[in-house]
Structure 1
Amino acid sequence: MGMIAGIIIYLIRPVVVNLYNVTDDTKMIAMEIMKVTSIIVVFQSLGVNMMMGVLRGGGDAKFVLVNDIIFMWLVAIPGGFLAAFVFKLPIVIVFFIIKSDEVLKSIVSIFRVTSGKWVKDVTRDFEEFEVI
């Protein structure tokens, strides 16, 4: 689904951007941001399914929390700040750096899922519950 969404975003970007009455420079920037979004959405859909679905559902919520904190607060936000205000990089690169946590989380989640270390027993024995 992420690949389909990415292809759709990539293909409709000229139509969507031309709906707005903005300068050509703004249209160019919007087209580039949508191009980056069409790539990021693939990783975003993979990461959400792996992290929220498989890993959290399998009892590895702590791993998901730690990854969210590390990649957002130690990579994406500081990287975006440095890219924008220190290195004065173009907005498209800053946008990609801010969204890079999605790429990193999806890559890490693939390794975690294939390792099998995430599997935890999340069931309870029926005898533990009292019948009222």
Structure 2
Amino acid sequence: MKIIGFVRSKISAERKEKIEGSLSIDQKIDIKDLVKEKNPFSDEIDAIRIKYTFSVIYSKKVAKIEFEGSVLVLPEKHEMDAFMKDWDSKKIPESLRVSIFNFILSKCSLKALALEEELSLPLHMQMPKLTSQKD
């Protein structure tokens, strides 16, 4: 499977005025739809458009960041059958789900970090830190 396209169609970010106390921050990826469509590069095999929602949700309903969009994938012939069969029960094949979710997570997390900075929100993931070495 190859990922050949990525689109964000909606970006939403909001926070309440006052944030107090400790917060928990959750991330969630929901697959909303999966549709077969014409491959823009070849007529030999169709592509699959996977529509998603990625959310960063802060406890106490103090803030929420949400993205909607789609990922265009080009599956191998045997993967196409697995996609369509599993989607009948609203699932993505386990062997392919992890790579698709990791792709969505990496694309959306970067944009979420920028929005968190703009809204003065706690970051939803740890940033790398340098430490000094002692002799």
Same fold (TM over 0.5): no
Q: TM-score, normalised by structure 1?
A: 0.29
Q: TM-score, normalised by structure 2?
A: 0.28
Structure in which a larger fraction of residues adopt helix:
1
Larger Rg: 1
Structure in which a larger fraction of residues adopt strand:
2
